[in-house]
Amino acid sequence: MAVSKVVMPKLSEAMETGKIIKWLKKEGDRIEGGDILAEVETDKADVEMEAFGAGVLRKIFVPAGETAPVGSLIGVIAEPNEDIAGLLAGAPAAVAAPAAPGPESRRPEPVASVVPAATGGGRVKASPLAKKIAAQSGVDLRVIQGSGPGGRIVRRDVEAAAAGPVWSAPAAATAPGSEYEDVPLSQMRAIIAKRMPLSKAPVPHFYVASDVAMDRAWDLREALNALEGQPKISVNDLVVRACALALLAHPGVNASFQGEAIRVFHVAHIGIAVALEEGLITPVLRDCHAKSLTQIAVEARDLAERARARKLRASELSGATFSISNLGMFDVAAFSAIINPPEGAILAVGSVRKVPVVDGDAVTVGRRMALTISCDHRVMDGAMGARFLQDVKRLLEAPLRLLV
Amino acid sequence: MAAIRCAQLGLSVAAVEDDRPGGVCLNWGCIPTKALLRNAEVLHLVERAADFGISVGEVRADYAAAVKRSRGVADRMAKGVEFLFRKNKITLVPGRGMLETPTTVLVGAHTIEARAVILATGSEPKSLPGVAIDEQVVISSNGAVRQEHRPASLIVIGAGAVGVEFADVYRAYGTEVTILEALPRLVPIEDEEVSTQLARTFGRRGITIKTGVKVSAITRGGSGAVVETDAGRFEAEQVLMAVGRSAKVKDVGLEALGIAMERGFVRVSPRMETSVKGVYAIGDMAGAPLLAHKAMAEGVVAAEAIAGRDPRPVDYGNVPSCTYCRPQIASIGVSEAKARENGREITVGKFPFTASGKAVALGETEGFVKVVADTATGEILGVHILGPEATEIIHEFVVGRTLEATLEEMIHTIHAHPTLSEAAFEAMLAALGQAIHI
């Protein structure tokens, strides 16, 4: 049996470091692949970290409460007779609050230099000094705007961030009678603030909107929910199912811009935006194209609940091929959403509203729902987005097809 | 530099100059003095030839020839600038320029109109109050660099870069040199250890050093001049006034346009623009440090600002300081004392050239490299080098600081062996408690 290195996993797109909340296994415990080793806190959620190798957890390098960069060695799984001396010697230290600076602690810490190398696409351009000061002052380099050449983060940027309100204690300073207060950014808000312009500015969005007659879907949903022992189906579940089927028929929408190619997906992993107190998270419901409406309903509910409890697993936080944002519960007529790169499109779903409908020569009451799709123009064109939306509309208007 | 950069950026450029192009540096300062110092060094080596097993006959050093050579070097460099001006189609207008309006410069009877004006009048040697520089008995660096006569004895007032460089040259040619410095040590802007060791070396070479001395009067008399101080009278054939330089800001038209000043220098923005829009100022007249390389960096910033670029401002915290006496002095950042004063927890690494294989092979083992770094981050706060080619060795630290490299990255840079730069490497290792060769 081989020696398995346990490294800090990349649990979300933006993740660069993770904090070990607690180890669920201790040194000496026997591990099977898939066992939950530890709970890790990321910028988005607390997630469980699974073991990839089998053997004995021989060594834990990063104790609970400490932070390690993505990709850094945090433990070793091996059989008891396996020689792991080489790994023990090269083990990095955690980026913890610095110990009392004695001569020993001045040694170069490999950890700091691991950060950019190990994060691939999410590389942070920062000077070595900026990285060290950031590590020591607990500043997250991902949320800093660099002022050096090419946006490189330099010392003054980190110092400004360390002194700035973003990272101060969350007590908002408000003078009595003041007309405003500065509420410090939560970690999640800060990430959203940094990432959204990275979508809106470089991704050329276009929007296609359509009104869907939801009368039959509404009736179907009521009928299904009246059935004994059936899980409750939401309007959004119907939308997810409709999108999954339509995405398979329109792979051009289920696609991602990759610089020199367009990656077209043959599966529909759908991100479902969930509003939280401190921001927004988009857990991913995988393989929606292969799931029944009931399965989608059960799993989407579970995801949303665990998102609110910050109990999502790593695999549930990334890898969407398409996203849906539904503000229907807020009595929203229509809105448009910002694409979450590298996805190629996102569907914004409004409320199901009762509206007057012209039926022949009479005016009757009908249920209508606005759908707006935001598309990456680098990946697709208007007609492609429109045809997809048309198909989603057709599916929702003839909803029995969602059941088969 | 500013003119050439402007021309490169497609601007139409006229340069007004009442001397030869190249400024103080090329004609009066950096370049001709380096030629003289090289003569002093060659002379020193010839005198030491026996150490290398080479016997030479009687050594005769002709100081006038040294000055002639120095002028030849300056002349060649000035021609180089004139060539670059022609190549870049810069119109050289001989004469003194005077700002008339923010967009017009008066040169004699002619008026030159321009969208923008860069002032770069430079500086001139200062004197002590009540002491006139006649360039006969009381000379400035301007006189010293051109006079073919070598005084038998010389009093140097001021132990900054200019003072110690001329003390070095004249001493090498046999002049009795006395240095008077008001502050407590030689090269007072450098790290204290540098001053201490330079004083020891200069002392061995027969230079008299009086520090903490206040000059009260200079009169003609004795063999030439008599300098009265609170530490007694000093006599010498000539007195070299090396107490600093002041910006040339008179008769430039600054007052009439209301261009703001600050402590005798023109106040400028990070884009090198003065308080009057479209009028820029660079170099010595725009403030300390009065160094040609700072001026050149400012010239580029001004040129790019005028051309509508968005230049990175000059990083005044990272301008190397170099003095070309023997051994050379080079430094960047803050001294050890200043770093402590700033309240930083620091680590200091020092490596003497006596432990450097290359320095021993060269027979130039005086001096050291001293690195002052922040303990927590390894940030390089200051580097102070006294020794052979110090002025060349310093640049790895200047680059490192520009990139915000810390000691950790620096020590993982392989330094070629055997080189003088290895002393820099070892000093950094020493700061981390990991020096190998000491």
Q: Do A132 and B378 touch (CB under 8 A)?
A: yes
ipTM reported for the complex, 2 dp:
0.79
**Reported pTM:** 0.61
Facing residue for A128 by CB, picked from B345, B375, B408: B408
DSSP A22-33: EESS-TT-EE-T
Nearest chain B CA: its distance from A154 CA (Å): 7
Q: Would you call B223 an interface residue with chain A, using a CB distance cutoff of 8 Å?
A: no
Q: Would you call B214 an interface residue with chain A, using a CB distance cutoff of 8 Å?
A: no
Which residue has 């990275």 as its token pair? A198
Name the domain boundary from B206, B222, B243.
B243
Output the average pLDDT for chain A.
Answer: 81
Q: Which residues of A touch B406 (CB under 8 A)?
A: 128-129, 132
Catalytic annotation present for A269: no
DSSP B103-159: TEEEETTEEEE-S-EEE---EEE---TT----SSSEE-HHHHHH-----SEEEEE--
Residue A328 C-alpha from the chain's centroid: 21
Name the domain boundary from B243, B259, B288.
B243
A99-137 pLDDT, tens digit each = 333 333 333 333 333 333 333 345 788 999 999 888 888
Name the domain boundary from B213, B243, B273.
B243
> Which pLDDT tens digits describe chain B residue by residue (438 residues)?
899 999 999 999 999 999 888 888 888 999 999 999 999 999 999 999 999 999 999 999 999 999 999 999 999 999 999 999 999 999 999 999 999 999 999 999 999 999 999 999 999 999 999 999 999 999 999 999 999 999 999 999 999 999 999 999 999 999 999 999 999 999 999 999 999 999 999 999 999 999 999 999 999 988 899 999 999 999 999 999 999 999 999 999 999 999 999 999 999 999 999 999 999 999 999 999 999 999 999 999 999 999 999 899 999 999 999 999 999 999 999 999 999 998 889 999 999 999 999 999 999 999 999 999 999 999 999 999 999 999 999 999 999 999 999 999 999 999 999 999 999 999 999 999 988 887
Residue A302 phi, psi (nearest 5)? -60, -45
For residue B122, give the nearest of B1, B269, B276 by alpha carbon. B1
Among B408, B411, B413, B432, the residue to mutate for chain A (most A Cβ within 10 A)? B408
A272-313 pLDDT, tens digit each = 999 887 778 899 999 999 999 999 999 999 999 988 887 887
Q: Answer whether residue B62 is part of any domain.
A: yes
Q: Answer whether residue B13 is part of any domain.
A: yes
Among all residues of chain B, which has the CA nearest to that of A100? B376
Cβ atoms of A218 and A367 closer than 8 Å? yes
Q: Are residues B265 and B166 in the same domain?
A: no
Could you give the domains of chain A?
Answer: 4-89 (2.40.50.100), 202-402 (3.30.559.10)
Nearest chain A CA: its distance from B404 CA (Å): 5
Q: Are residues B57 and B149 in the same domain?
A: no
Beta strand segments in B212-303, E: 215-221, 224-229, 232-236, 238-241, 245-247, 261-262, 265-266, 279-281
Among A104, A127, A129, A153, the residue to mutate for chain B (most B Cβ within 10 A)? A129
As a whole number of angstroms, the longest Cα–Cα distance in chain A is 89
Catalytic residue from among A205, A266, A269, A377: A377
**pLDDT surpassing 80 at residue A2:** no
Q: Answer whether residue B273 is part of any domain.
A: yes
A204-252 pLDDT, tens digit each = 899 999 999 999 999 999 999 999 888 899 999 999 999 999 999 999 9
The count of structural domains within chain B is 3
Among A106, A109, A124, A147, the residue to mutate for chain B (most B Cβ within 10 A)? A106
Among all residues of chain B, which has the CA nearest to that of A149? B312
Residue A178 has a pLDDT of 64
Residues belonging to chain A with any Cβ–Cβ distance to chain B shorter than 8 Å: 98, 101, 103, 106-109, 112-113, 127-130, 132-133, 136, 149, 154-155
**CATH code for position B119:** 3.50.50.60
Which residue has 């006229």 as its token pair? B14
Cβ atoms of A289 and A244 closer than 8 Å? yes
**CATH code for position B358:** 3.30.390.30
Q: Which residues of A touch B433 (CB under 8 A)?
A: 103, 106
Q: Which domain holds residue B101?
A: 2-123+246-317
Tally of CA atoms within 13 A in the half-sphere of A333 that contains its CB = 1
Q: Are residues B148 and B112 in the same domain?
A: no
**pLDDT surpassing 90 at residue A82:** no
Q: How far apart are the first and last CA of chain A?
A: 46
